[in-house]
């Protein structure tokens, strides 16, 4: 049994749904100040929907193409969206940002293809699951696996034999994880000492407050927090 030819009303409905699907995911990305936001997701969803419609329409309305393969253009969308996804990934020092946005671009293209093919229920379910992933699971992930920034923490002590136990206790209270520690008793000034920590500082940590608390410990003359290169 052959499928009924696409009508203009059906085409308009699918394009409208593609626009809506892109807007929903794009709004979430834009609210987090991502490089690919509302307009980018809408354009990708609309383009994918239109290309899927074109894949269906051509065999139905072009003589000699009754046995055409609607999946050919869709396959090119899947491979081509990778170039846009790569543009959303940023490397900032040792951190990589934008992987979730790149994945959302790939997903919204797939949703657009599904809408263009008339798979409305599947597209709606994926859209809902993606929103749960981006909103709810983001909160759960941050609580269970808090992200951190790798920094070099240098504590300059007044005495030549520093006691790091108080500093480690303060770091623990601030949920800062020490990955390594290096003690240098020659501070370059003939007296004093220095302890260098490689630490992972949670994003929510107030670095200025941490530095003040460490310095207020009494034994520390100077606190320096540097980027890890």
**Residues 153 and 69 reside in one and the same domain:** no
Say if 161 falls within a structural domain. Answer: yes
**Residues 20 and 107 reside in one and the same domain:** yes
Q: Which residues pair with 161 in a beta bridge?
A: none
State the maximum Cα–Cα separation within the chain, in Å, rounded to a whole number.
Answer: 91
**Residues 125 and 201 reside in one and the same domain:** no
Per-residue confidence (pLDDT) for residue 92, from 0 to 100: 46
**Residues 75 and 188 reside in one and the same domain:** no
Per-residue confidence (pLDDT) for residue 81, from 0 to 100: 83
**Residues 168 and 198 reside in one and the same domain:** yes
**Residues 15 and 128 reside in one and the same domain:** yes
**Residues 154 and 135 reside in one and the same domain:** no
Q: Which residue spans within 116-172 are E strands per DSSP?
A: 148-157
Strand order in the sheet with 220-227: 177-184, 193-202, 148-157, 220-227
Say if 1 falls within a structural domain. Answer: no
**Residues 138 and 162 reside in one and the same domain:** no
Q: State the burial class of residue 199 (Cβ atoms within 10 Å of its Cβ: 0-12, 13-18, 19+).
A: buried
Say if 2 falls within a structural domain. Answer: no
| Domain boundary residue, one of 111, 128, 144 | 144
Q: Could you tell me if 37 and 30 are in contact, meaning their C-beta atoms sit under 8 angstroms apart? A: yes
**Residues 94 and 126 reside in one and the same domain:** yes
Per-residue confidence (pLDDT) for residue 93, from 0 to 100: 46
**Token code pair at residue 72:** 């050919």
| Domain boundary residue, one of 125, 144, 163 | 144
| Domain boundary residue, one of 94, 112, 144 | 144
Per-residue confidence (pLDDT) for residue 152, from 0 to 100: 82
Per-residue confidence (pLDDT) for residue 148, from 0 to 100: 62
Say if 3 falls within a structural domain. Answer: no
**Residues 18 and 86 reside in one and the same domain:** yes
Domain extent, residue 85, equals 8-144
Q: State the burial class of residue 126 (Cβ atoms within 10 Å of its Cβ: 0-12, 13-18, 19+).
A: middle
User: pLDDT truncated to tens, each residue of the chain (229 aa)?
Assistant: 456 678 889 999 999 999 999 999 999 888 888 777 899 999 999 999 999 998 888 877 776 656 656 677 777 887 788 777 777 776 544 456 678 888 899 999 999 999 999 999 999 999 999 999 988 887 787 677 666 667 788 888 877 777 778 888 888 888 888 777 777 765 455 567 888 888 887 777 888 888 888 888 777 888 888 765 4
Say if 114 falls within a structural domain. Answer: yes
Could you tell me the CATH number of the domain that includes residue 173? Answer: 3.30.70.260
Per-residue confidence (pLDDT) for residue 13, from 0 to 100: 95
User: Among 28, 18, 15, 32, which residue's Cα sits nearest to residue 108?
Assistant: 18
Per-residue confidence (pLDDT) for residue 112, from 0 to 100: 94
Tally of structural domains, the chain:
2
Q: State the burial class of residue 229 (Cβ atoms within 10 Å of its Cβ: 0-12, 13-18, 19+).
A: exposed
**Residues 156 and 196 reside in one and the same domain:** yes
φ, ψ at 148 (rounded to 5°): -140, 165
**Residues 102 and 132 reside in one and the same domain:** yes
φ, ψ at 98 (rounded to 5°): 100, 0
């Amino acid at each position: 049994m052959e499928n009924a030819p696409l009508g203009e009303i059906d085409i308009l409905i699918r394009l409208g749904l593609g626009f809506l699907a892109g807007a929903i995911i794009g709004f979430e990305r834009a609210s987090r100040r991502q490089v690919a936001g509302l307009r980018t997701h809408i354009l990708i969803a609309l383009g994918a929907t239109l290309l899927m419609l074109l894949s269906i329409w051509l065999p139905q309305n072009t003589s000699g193409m009754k046995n055409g393969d609607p999946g050919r253009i869709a396959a090119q969308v899947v491979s081509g969206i990778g170039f846009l996804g790569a543009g959303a990934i940023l490397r900032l020092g040792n951190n990589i940002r934008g992987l979730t946005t790149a994945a959302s671009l790939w997903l919204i293209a797939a949703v657009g293809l599904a809408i263009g093919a008339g798979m409305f229920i599947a597209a709606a379910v994926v859209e809902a699951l993606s929103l749960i992933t981006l909103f709810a699971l983001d909160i759960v992930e941050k609580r269970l696996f808090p992200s951190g920034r790798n920094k070099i923490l240098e504590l300059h002590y007044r005495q030549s034999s520093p006691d790091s136990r108080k500093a480690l206790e303060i770091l623990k209270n601030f949920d800062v994880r020490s990955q390594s520690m290096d003690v240098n008793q020659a501070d370059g000034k003939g007296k004093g000492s220095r302890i260098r920590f490689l630490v992972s500082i949670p994003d929510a940590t107030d670095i200025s407050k941490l530095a003040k608390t460490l310095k207020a410990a009494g034994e520390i003359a100077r606190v320096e927090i540097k980027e890890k290169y």
